[in-house]
Amino acid sequence: MIKTPKAIIVIFGATGDLAKRKLFPSIYRLYQSGKISEDFAVVGVARRPWSNEIFRENVKRSIHHFPDDNGGQDIFASHFYYHPFDVTNISSYHELKSLLSTLDDRYNTAGNRIFYLAMAPDFFGTIATNLKSERLTTTEGWIRLIIEKPFGHDYDSAQELNNQLRMAFTEEQIYRIDHYLGKEMVQNIKVIRFANAIFEPLWNSQYIANVQITSSEILGVEDRGRYYESSGTLRDMVQNHMLQMVALLAMDPPIKLTAEEIRSEKIKIFRALKPLSNNEVEQYFVRGQYGPGIINENKVVGYKEENDVDPASNTETFVAGKLMIENFRWTGVPFYIRTGKRMQEKSTEIVIQFKDLPMNLYLGQERKTHPNLLVIHIQPDEGITLHLNAQKTNSSVTSTPIRLSYCNNCADKMNTPEAYEILLYDCMRGDSTNFAHWEEVALSWKFVDVISNVWSNNKATEFPNYESGSMGPKESDVLLEKDDFHWWPTITTRFKGESDNENI
């Protein structure tokens, strides 16, 4: 039986949006479910001159929508403490060290500490260095550091940041969060592949025609215009979330289900990605920027009209790409990715398209059959759908597409664990399987930097090139049409009331 973790969680940036929307609710869910015991404390660290009482009221507001049994939220909030902090002032670290020592004794946490940097990355290196020099990392228990993305803005800056962190923490102590890796159906990719005899033998270039990964959002940049101007979709989505999903889909079976062995197989995929020359970037990747359009029957502005966005901005809000993996398993199989803002719907899906039979006796009127597809629904619904061909009663000797669907969260969405809940618990247990290792980060930046540099040097003249409410620029369709494929549409209503013979 796994022991209930006990630790002090120190959240730098505890007055920010991430802490309020994700971290406090996730810790509360863990507390409610008994995954963490009464032996825990949370110390909020930020510049605002708050008191413990103000901080606790803020925590309770962030979890008020959860059921509160017998005043449980008040008891939970009593474990939270606030410490006004200046990251550049050494005396702040001395005061924090004294507080942590007091809380270690009060909550019997044995010196176990998680330092969560939920703030802008400008001070990551400074905080790590001072935590080490002022001996906040010297305890009898374990020490872990959680880092939010962005982890650098290119390979050089990421390496510089990593060197700073490694002066204070070992690689085994650093947990780089990619919240996509905490999503249940992303974690299910390994299970679908390696626990089913009907899939793994077919999971190669002999049977698979192409793989498609789509992550689309309805929202625009909202209040993140300043951040997005320095990032763009390539850095914000492709370098981390999209490439991580590619690695999970393409990796070979690990010899054991340990963090080290799974990571080793993922790194092999990053190394096997076909490197692009400057001249090949436009052949393999498409960029876009949304213009005005209609979302849910409401008019919305284009990216250049958003707050804190340069009216002449060349920042991409959409990326589609074709990735080739140069190894024995995947030679010749394109992995297509697309992701963007202000698109037709909020959806993240993976489509595995299997090759057609060399001779099919059950051709329809158009002399072709619907291909077999395995669709992994990541969000908003979680599940899998297998598209097959079958004969309907009283029909002619032709095949009809049918769907076999399983929904992972349809029955009880309220109690489905959120990604941060899963990842926080993993970190407390010392399981780094679903966190990004430095070598993964480095290789993904090296791949993306080539694309980024070409786009920076060749300004797009056609922006905006897709309407809000569409599925991106037409050039992304052409990307697949050149290979005689097309994007499979995402389907908003996947599991409830759908027809089992509906064509897509």
pLDDT above 70: residue 23? yes
pLDDT above 80: residue 397? no
Where residue 468 falls among pLDDT bands split at 50, 70, 90? very high
Catalytic residue among 241, 377, 387, 437: 241
CB neighbour list of residue 478: distance below 8 Å, 6 or more residues apart = none
Q: What is the structure's pLDDT at 400?
A: 80
Q: Does residue 99 contact residue 83 with C-beta atoms inside 8 Å?
A: yes
Distance CA 282, CA 454 (A): 9
The closest of 77, 82, 149, 90 to 118, measured between CA atoms, is: 149
Distance CA 494, CA 385 (A): 9
Mean pLDDT confidence for 154-176: 96
* Identity at 182, one-letter amino acid code: G
pLDDT above 80: residue 358? no
Distance CA 374, CA 405 (A): 10
Mean pLDDT confidence for 334-354: 97
Percent of the chain with pLDDT over 90: 82
* Identity at 151, one-letter amino acid code: F
Query: Between these two residues, 437 and 3, which has the higher pLDDT value?
Result: 437
Mean pLDDT confidence for 475-496: 83
Neighbours of 221 (CB within 10 A): 23
pLDDT above 50: residue 1? no
Mean pLDDT confidence for 370-397: 86
Q: What is the structure's pLDDT at 150?
A: 84
CB neighbour list of residue 379: distance below 8 Å, 6 or more residues apart = 183, 185, 346, 347, 348
Where residue 492 falls among pLDDT bands split at 50, 70, 90? very low
pLDDT 10s digits, 404-452: 999 987 766 556 678 999 999 999 999 999 999 999 999 999 999 999 9
Q: What is the structure's pLDDT at 501?
A: 41
One DSSP character per residue, 415-475 reads GSPPHHHHHHHHHHHT--TTSB-HHHHHHHHHHHHHHHHHHHHS--SS-S-EEETBSS-HH
Mean pLDDT confidence for 99-117: 97
Which of helix, strand or coil describes residue 387? Answer: strand
Q: What is the structure's pLDDT at 368?
A: 63
Query: Between these two residues, 360 and 279, which has the higher pLDDT value?
Result: 279
**For this structure, is 179 an active site residue?**
no
Where are the alpha helices (H) located in 195-341, listed in sequence order? 225-233, 243-250, 259-272, 281-284
Distance CA 17, CA 136 (A): 26
User: Worst-scoring range by mean pLDDT, 95-104, 220-229, 313-322?
Assistant: 220-229
Q: Does residue 148 contact residue 18 with C-beta atoms inside 8 Å?
A: yes
Where residue 395 falls among pLDDT bands split at 50, 70, 90? low
Q: What would you report as the CA-atom Rg of the chain, rounded to the nearest whole angstrom?
A: 24
Residue 231: alpha-carbon gap to chain centroid: 16
Q: Which residues pair with 144 in a beta bridge?
A: 114
pLDDT above 70: residue 491? no
pLDDT 10s digits, 280-326: 999 999 999 999 999 999 999 999 999 999 999 999 999 999 999 99
Mean pLDDT confidence for 81-109: 96
Distance CA 159, CA 59 (A): 35
H or E element that contains 379: strand 373-379
Neighbours of 238 (CB within 10 A): 27
* Residue 284 DSSP class: H
